[in-house]
Amino acid sequence: MQNFISGIAGFFTRLKSIHPLLPWGIALVVLLPLPQFTVNNYQVYLINFICIMIILATGLNIVKGFAGQVTVGHVALYAIGAYTSAVLSTKFGMPFYVNLPVSILAAMIAGVLVGIPSFRLEGAYLALATLAFAQAVEVYIRVTNYLGAASGIGGIKAPEFFGYSLRKYDDYFYLVMPIMLAAVYASFAILRSATGRAFMAVREDPISAASMGINVRRYKLIAFVMSAFYAGLAGSLYAHMLPGYVHPNNFTVIEMVTVLLMVVLGGIGNIWGGVIGAIIVTIVADITREYYFYQLLLFGAVIVGTVLFMPKGIGGIIDRYFVNRRFIAAREETAEVKRGIVGGSPDESSG
Amino acid sequence: MKKTLTCLVVAGLLASGSSWAGEIRIGATMRMISENGQKYGQMMQDEFDAINARGGINGNTVELILLNDECKSDKGVANANKFAYQDNVHLIIGSTCSSVSLPIVDVTAQAEVPQIIPHSTNDQITKKDSAWVFRVPISARYYKGVVAKYLHDKVGDQVAYVYASDAAAMSETQGIIQQMRDVYGVEPVYEAQTQEKEIDFRSHLLKIKDLEPDAIYFGGLQEPIARFLVQSYEVGIPASVVRAASSAASNAPVPKLAGDAVQGVFFSAAYSDSDTRPIAQLFNSYVRNRYGIGGVDHDFSQAYDLIRIVEIALGNADLSLEDDDLAADRTAIRDAIANVQGYEGLASGPISFCADSTPQCRDGNRTPVLIQYIEGGEDFKVGILDRVTMPIEFGL
């Protein structure tokens, strides 16, 4: 099993050395026939939902994992993305390709509003401020008739391209899956960029970062806006998926805790961890659907347990595994070199 | 280890895609986060178990898959998708909340699975032009007409309205306000919306007290209704001001929580605990004994009526119950439900459906009963004020 994992990792490393986008292209090709391998349409629906959750969790990871900002308002940005698409589609008859960028833009503008308190607040205080924002958005939607209030907004049209509607779940998969891959790739690109390094500097020590010439406020704000981009994207994709219905009950604190769990379980700041967390949590939530009362208890216990016993999450364990493998390999290599020096032929040693 | 894993995977795949001939599969998604919500679900399970114990329907057993949607549309949609595509059910029952039933209508229409609604009242549900949806409870469009007429004719036009942020309460209350405005030319003396989980209504009630209205109307779920009634007396609104509430006032926790404050409150519902018909008396004692309920509300009766209608329809449907005939069986069940005419059970009026996908054909019951609380508490008493069969086109 270990050799298999190492083999896969090595294979992708080699592909990346040929072209950075090659592994992603292969992942896309491998995932394309996925709906054909599912047993039924419900599983395709679940895969689509997982893709949306991956985008949402990846976005949260940028602000929380990369930049270290404690936010619990991410679900409000998701709601803003979803409701912008819903309003544009149902009240103005706009098509998906217009709704998607506008929803992202709306979420990004809201992301600026959420990000501003981070200039002065940190930790629990920032969490409270963003929680208040999330609650305010939910309440505002719930009491605004134009936004469907407590009845929600239905009849959001499925995306249409050249007259072909992506109303079926397996058609929708071909939209949501490539977008998800692109979003995860972009997240890696951000992490590797100067911006990503600035985020991490801000996360580790804002004062040191500032002393090194990093504009802390600017990068905090960029992190919130980038994170909002992902939330708006996820929200719009959620709104346009069958049945094309959004309701304030889908954007509550419980949903926020669920997304948070994905990131915490996967490993805060670990992109693959967030992806794995989104997959695991969505599947576990689905399997435990019949045990509603115990589900929240389970989620809470997993968060506490992860923080106590696995602070770097599943991603941390995977990272440690690869680090250990590299360490062992390096140690063996060094030992072989030493053996070569010590046990080499007299001719070689004499020079 | 590998063998065990393989076995588990194979078993999982088989279980997820499996279906069994000779078995009618029904998926029910309901709000089961409250004590009563769980009991409605339990009653459905018990009734189908009883049908199976009697030999099933035409010799076929019924398997009920009961899931909780927590009154959340995404969970309800996931449940409906699971029923339609994974469990391959023949019929979907659900949901309790209008905000969940509304999106499920689109899922069942696309999957072509018949859906029958036990509790949701929002009038938009049957206006979606789906050929696959049927509603047992009374639509909000009928409720609002009856309440508005009673307020205007018997109480007075000076009415203050407060309503919570849930789909059914909003639909009912705004409908009544609209009805009063359009038919009687009367504007509300006070109108306010509260939060879904808000429990302190005294700021509204104090303002209402100063306006000295003829009546106060509260639209909401059961617990907020009870609190609203209690607080209306706490702020000093006299008993002479008539209290009215949305159809959720029928639910047993309202008189239990509100106690004496519930006296005189009127509401419209599909069933009255004080119904003197033998079938109603029998049903009341059955529910009281079996589920430990003091007073039986219309959500119990509607769930019961729904099961009987389903039983009739399944009995009349020509089903093969073979995997390959799932689509044909679903269509047969849909057509059999559409053929149910003049069903008389516990409901306030006969329930009839027809083939067209219009609200006229799919809102089965159009006879709301106006009910007034005589006594509150665990063993509450109610009386019937009026029973009105509404014109089929009303509110469209």
Q: Are both B173 and B220 inside the same structural domain?
A: yes
- Cα→Cα distances B149→A253, B143, B158, B183, Å: 41, 10, 13, 9
| Res A347: pLDDT | 47
Q: Across the interface, which of B67, B72, B165 has its CB nearest the CB of A290?
A: B67
Distance CA A339, CA A103 (A): 63
User: Within this chain, do residues B256 and B380 fall inside the same structural domain, yes or no?
Assistant: yes
Whether B68 contacts chain A with CB within 8 A: yes
Contact between chains at A150 and B167 (C-beta distance less than 8 A):
yes
Q: Vertex B240, ends B235 and B245: CA angle to 5°?
A: 75
- The answer to whether residue B24 is domain-embedded is yes
Residues B238, B379 share a domain: yes
Greater model confidence, B276 or A229? A229
pTM attached to this predicted model:
0.84
Assess B18–A contact: CB distance below 8 Å, yes or no.
no
What is the ipTM, given to two decimal places?
0.81
Locate the chain B residue with the closest alpha carbon to A239: B74
For residue A79, give the amino acid letter.
A
Is B13 inside any structural domain? Answer: no
pLDDT in tens, A32-58: 999 999 889 999 999 999 999 999 999
Quote the pLDDT of residue B15.
46
Computed over every residue of chain A, the mean pLDDT equals 89
Contact B102 A40 (CB under 8 A): no
Q: Is residue B339 part of a domain?
A: yes
pLDDT in tens, B5-48: 455 444 544 444 444 448 999 999 998 877 778 888 899 999 99
Nearest to B77 among A39, A143, A243 (CB): A243
CA B292-B296-B299 angle, 5° bins: 110
Residues B377, B300, single domain; the answer is no
Range B335-347 average pLDDT? 94
Q: And the tokens for B323?
A: 């995997």
Residue of B nearest to A135 (CA): B195
Cβ contact B271:B249 at 8 Å = no
Are B103 and A243 inside 8 Å of each other by CB? yes
Which residues touch B202 (CB under 8 Å, ≥6 apart)?
B231, B234, B235
Examine the domain organization and report whether B181 and B169 are in the same domain.
Answer: yes
Q: What pLDDT, in 10s, does the model give residues A262-295?
A: 999 998 889 999 999 999 999 988 888 777 777 7
Residue A309 has what pLDDT? 86
**Distance from the B168 Cα atom to the nearest Cα atom in chain A, whole angstroms:** 8
**pLDDT score, position A351:** 35
Same domain, B328 and B343: yes
Task: Tell if the CB–CB gap between B82 and A42 is shorter than 8 Å.
Answer: yes
CB-nearest to A41 from B74, B79, B85 is B85
Question: What is d(CA B203, CA B112) in angstroms, rounded to the nearest whole number?
Answer: 48
Cβ atoms of B164 and B194 within 8 Å: the answer is yes
What is the structure's pLDDT at A5? Answer: 66
**For B137, which DSSP code?**
E
**What mean pLDDT comes out for the span B170-183?**
89
The one-character DSSP state at B130 is: -
Inter-chain touch A152–B102, beta carbons under 8 Å: yes
Judge whether B354 and B392 are in contact, CB under 8 Å: no
Contact at CB, A289 and B170, closer than 8 angstroms: no
Q: Which residues of A touch B102 (CB under 8 A)?
A: 151-152, 154, 245
Q: Which residues of A touch B (CB under 8 A)?
A: 39-43, 45-46, 49, 139, 142-143, 149-152, 154, 167-169, 242-250, 286, 289-290, 292
The answer to whether residues B380 and B240 belong to one domain is: yes
pLDDT tens digit string along A146-194? 998 888 999 999 999 998 999 999 999 999 999 999 999 999 999 999 9
Peptide bond preceding B95: is omega within 30 degrees of 0, i.e. cis? yes
Domain assignment present for residue B7? The answer is no
Helix H or strand E encompassing B244:
strand B242-245
8 A C-beta contact, residue A274 and residue A65: yes
The pair of structure tokens assigned to A11 is 């294979």
With beta carbons less than 8 A apart as the criterion, state whether B303 and B118 touch. Answer: yes
Quick one: B103 and B170 in the same domain? no
pLDDT at A341: 65
B131 and B49, same domain (yes or no):
yes
- Predicted confidence at residue B9, as pLDDT, reads 47
Q: Is B8 contained in some domain?
A: no
In terms of pLDDT, which residue wins out, A212 or A18? A212
Instruction: Identify whether residues B305 and B317 lie together within a single domain.
Output: yes
Q: Is B34 on the interface with A (CB under 8 A)?
A: no
B130 interfacial to chain A (CB closer than 8 Å): no
Whether residue A292 and residue B122 make contact (CB cut-off 8 A), yes or no, is: no
Q: For residue B9, is it within any domain?
A: no
Residue B196: pLDDT band with limits 50, 70, 90: low
Identify the pLDDT of residue A340. Answer: 74
- Who among B72, B78, B122 is closest to A151 (CB)? B122
Q: Are B283 and B310 in contact (CB under 8 A)?
A: no
Do B243 and B265 touch, CB atoms closer than 8 A? yes
* CATH number of the domain within which B176 lies: 3.40.50.2300
**Number of structural domains, chain B?**
2
Would you say residue B4 lies in a domain? no
Owning domain of residue B318:
20-138+280-365
Model confidence band, residue A1 (pLDDT cutoffs 50, 70, 90): low
CA-nearest of B32, B27, B120 to B65 is B27
pLDDT of B22 reads: 84
Please give the Cα distance from B309 to B199 (Å, whole number). Answer: 37
Q: At B82, list the tokens.
A: 């699971």
Residue B1 falls inside a structural domain = no
Mean predicted confidence (pLDDT) in A49-74: 94
State the residue for tokens 């992806």.
A275
Q: Are B104 and B78 in contact (CB under 8 A)?
A: no
Return the pLDDT at A343: 55
More confident position, A307 or B356:
B356
Position B377 confidence tier, pLDDT thresholds 50, 70, 90: confident
* Structure tokens belonging to residue A349: 């040693």
Q: Helical H runs in A116-215? A: 123-143, 169-192, 194-204, 206-211
Q: Kindly tell me the sign of the dihedral angle through the C-alpha atoms of B159, B160, B166, B170.
A: positive
pLDDT (tens digit per residue) in A292-318 = 777 778 888 888 888 888 888 888 888
Determine which of A60-69, A88-97, B236-245, B294-303 has the lowest per-residue pLDDT on average: B294-303
* Torsion sign over Cα B352, B357, B358, B363: positive
Determine the residue of chain A that is closest to B77 in CA distance.
Answer: A243
Regarding whether B198 and B313 lie in a shared domain, the answer is no
CB contacts of A49 in chain B (<8 Å) are 78
Q: Among partner residues B13, B71, B88, which is closest to A249 by beta-carbon distance?
A: B71
Sheet order of strands, B363-365 included: B61-68, B23-30, B91-94, B115-117, B133-138, B363-365
- In three-state secondary structure terms, A276 is helix
Chain B partners of A151 at a C-beta cutoff of 8 Å?
A: 98-99, 102, 122, 124, 167, 170-171
- B361 and B375: one domain? no
> How long, in residues, is chain A?
351
Nearest to B173 by CA among B157, B191, B153: B191
Contact status, residue B91 vs residue B333, Cβ threshold 8 Å: yes
Q: How far apart are CA B63 and CA B49, in angstroms?
A: 8
pLDDT above 90 for B313: yes
Residue B298 clears pLDDT 90, i.e. is over it: no
